[in-house]
């Protein structure tokens, strides 16, 4: 029997209306129960709630926690789904692509723009599509599944904060689409050229906290750059320091 691991981390998908607004509070079992997902025979789902926070609160230490769970899960499971808030989902999927190297099985990150508890939530479709891809994918890797699109985890960006089609794969074609009937339609060109593992599964959770993304805009005060240099950030390489 094939086994799928579903990890919960919080976000809008896990939110419930409270007097102070929506709060991330459902655990992953409650989310799946709300979604009412029926699995094909032959699959077993195991769940684990590793965080329950709005993804805007996620820190680099949390990427390490998620990466370690994924790495150990890949040994015992045939596929992994991570339920995550959408605001920093693209950062987590990108970091996982570097922290968990050479996966031969699918690791899918998804979320929703509307809480699972709200009528018409996109959570049911996104979870159903993610489970399907985690169970049936022909390729391994870190993927984002959202609004029927299967995207390369280290290429996605959140491009819309309202629409259910909130993510786009930047400078890289979508890997597949999942139709309403639950059929995975691969992009044939990508499937042939999709990078295959170059070694055995490896966990590398090191990161350099001095990495900072600075958007250069007209009128930027040079003291911002001086401040970053003082903090130990360098530009491009040590040689380019100014």
> Residue 182: CB partners within 8 Å, gap ≥ 6?
128, 129, 132
Least distance between ligand ASP and beta carbon 25 (Å) = 12
Least distance between ligand ASP and beta carbon 50 (Å) = 14
Among 115, 125, 47, CA closest to 86: 115
Residue 130 or 139: which CB sits closer to ligand ASP?
Answer: 130
86 catalytic per annotation: no
Least distance between ligand ASP and beta carbon 149 (Å) = 16
Name the residue whose CB lies closest to ligand ASP: 85
Residue 86 or 147: which CB sits closer to ligand ASP?
Answer: 86
Catalytic residue among 9, 12, 86, 117: 12
Least distance between ligand ASP and beta carbon 120 (Å) = 15
Chain residues in the site for ligand ASP (CB under 6 A) = 11-12, 54-56, 85-88, 111, 113
How far is residue 176 from each of residues 150, 151, 192, measured CA to CA in Å? 5, 7, 12
Residue 123 or 135: which CB sits closer to ligand ASP?
Answer: 123
> Residue 37: CB partners within 8 Å, gap ≥ 6?
124, 127, 128, 131
**Helix (H) or strand (E) run with residue 180 in it:** none
**Helix (H) or strand (E) run with residue 38 in it:** none
- Return the ∠ at Cα 96 (arms to 123 and 200), rounded to 5°: 125
List % helix, strand, coil for the chain (3-state, nearest 5).
30, 25, 45
Residue 118 or 136: which CB sits closer to ligand ASP?
Answer: 118
Catalytic residues: 12
């Amino acid at each position: 029997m094939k086994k799928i691991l579903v990890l919960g981390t919080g976000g809008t998908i896990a939110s419930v209306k409270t007097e102070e607004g929506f709060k991330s509070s459902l655990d992953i079992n409650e989310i799946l129960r709300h979604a009412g997902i029926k699995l094909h025979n032959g699959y077993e789902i195991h769940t684990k709630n590793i965080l329950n926070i709005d993804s805007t609160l996620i820190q680099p230490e949390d990427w390490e926690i998620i990466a370690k769970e994924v790495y150990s899960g890949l040994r015992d499971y045939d596929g992994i789904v991570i339920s995550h808030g959408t605001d920093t989902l693209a950062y987590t999927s990108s970091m996982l692509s570097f922290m968990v190297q050479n996966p031969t099985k699918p690791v899918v990150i998804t979320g929703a723009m509307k809480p699972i508890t709200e009528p018409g939530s996109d959570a049911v479709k996104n979870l159903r599509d993610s489970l399907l891809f985690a169970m049936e994918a022909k390729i391994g890797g870190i993927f984002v599944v959202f609004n029927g699109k299967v995207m390369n985890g280290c290429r996605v960006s959140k491009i819309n904060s309202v629409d259910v089609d909130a993510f786009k794969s930047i400078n890289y074609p979508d890997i597949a689409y999942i139709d309403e009937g639950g059929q995975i339609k691969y992009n044939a060109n990508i499937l042939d050229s999709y990078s295959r593992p170059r070694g055995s599964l490896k966990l590398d959770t090191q990161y350099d906290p001095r990495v900072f993304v600075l958007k250069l805009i007209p009128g930027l005060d040079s003291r911002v750059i001086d401040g970053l240099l003082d903090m130990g950030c360098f530009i491009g390489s040590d040689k380019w320091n100014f």
